[in-house]
Amino acid sequence: MPHDHDHPHSHLPSDPALRVKALETLLTDKGLVDPTALDEIIDLYQNKIGPQNGARVVAKMWSDPAFHKMMLNDPMSTLQDMGLYGRQGEHIVFVENSNDVHNMVVCTLCSCYPWPLLGIPPGWYKSDAYRARSVREPRAVLAEFGVALPEGKKVRVWDSTAEVRYLVVPQRPAGTEGFSQEALAALVTRDSMIGTALAQEPRA
């Protein structure tokens, strides 16, 4: 085990952008990294995988009772069929908000997050403050996001300590009867699927 004060990484340049560049160049020269493969990875998480995927699932859950039941009980094979499977999303559990319970997801030990459904996590999700406080004072954290829960509603916080990834199913807003799945999906924000927001209200 390396000594705590003599880590190899300390040999790299101190400016982080230069550090990344130096490592990429070294690994490319050693044949361990193909820069065009890095471009592909970035393209995948920038353009193909993101919260629009999770929003599509939530909108379908709101619209289709059989699909809703499947997602709550045994979602993985259906998610695979929908192309919503992959690294950091091999074991998904949907947790549904109700009039009684508001769910919220965190990873206090690192930054576990359902990549195939939500993409790469936002900065605040990875911050010390969110990791530290959401398990201890979730209502104060929700207030910082502008969320006030009705009196009597319980908060259940899911700390992602294993390879299981949790996705919050927000409550369907009133006034959306008859909406298409596409129109519903537009109301399902990333933060509403982490549990730091509610689904958006439809425009009057």
List the interface residues with other proteins, window 52-81 (CB under 8 A). Answer: none
**Is 111 tagged catalytic?**
yes
- Of the listed 77, 110, 127, 180, which one is catalytic? 110
- Of the listed 112, 134, 160, 192, which one is catalytic? 112
Q: What are the angstrom distances between the C-alpha of 189 and each of 1, 40, 90, 132, 185?
A: 43, 26, 22, 23, 8
Q: Report in angstroms how near the CB of residue 115 gets to other proteins at its nearest.
A: 9
**Is 14 tagged catalytic?**
no
Q: Report in angstroms how near the CB of residue 203 gets to other proteins at its nearest.
A: 22
How do beta strands 101-106 and 91-96 pair?
unpaired
Q: What are the angstrom distances between the C-alpha of 17 and each of 12, 22, 24, 30, 32?
A: 11, 9, 11, 20, 20
Backbone φ and ψ of 178, nearest 5°: 80, 0
Gyration radius of the chain's alpha carbons: 20
Nearer to other proteins, 119 or 170 (CB): 119
Q: Which of residues 170-189 bind other proteins (CB under 8 A)?
A: none
Which of residues 42, 64, 175, 182 is near other proteins by CB under 8 A? 42
Which of residues 64, 69, 77, 87 is near other proteins by CB under 8 A? 87
- Of the listed 10, 77, 98, 107, which one is catalytic? 107
- The yes or no reply on residue 86 touching other proteins (CB under 8 A) is yes
User: Rounded to whole angstroms, how far apart are CA atoms 83 and 139?
Assistant: 35
Q: Report in angstroms how near the CB of residue 186 gets to other proteins at its nearest.
A: 16
**Is 180 tagged catalytic?**
no
User: Rounded to whole angstroms, how far apart are CA atoms 46 and 40?
Assistant: 10
Which of residues 69, 98, 154, 180 is near other proteins by CB under 8 A? 154
Angle of CA points 119, 121, 124, to nearest 5°: 155
Q: Report in angstroms how near the CB of residue 127 gets to other proteins at its nearest.
A: 6
Q: Report in angstroms how near the CB of residue 183 gets to other proteins at its nearest.
A: 22
Q: Which of residues 91-150 bind other proteins (CB under 8 A)?
A: 91, 93, 106, 108-111, 116, 119-120, 122-124, 126-136, 138-139, 141, 144-146
Please give the positions annotated as active site.
107, 110-112
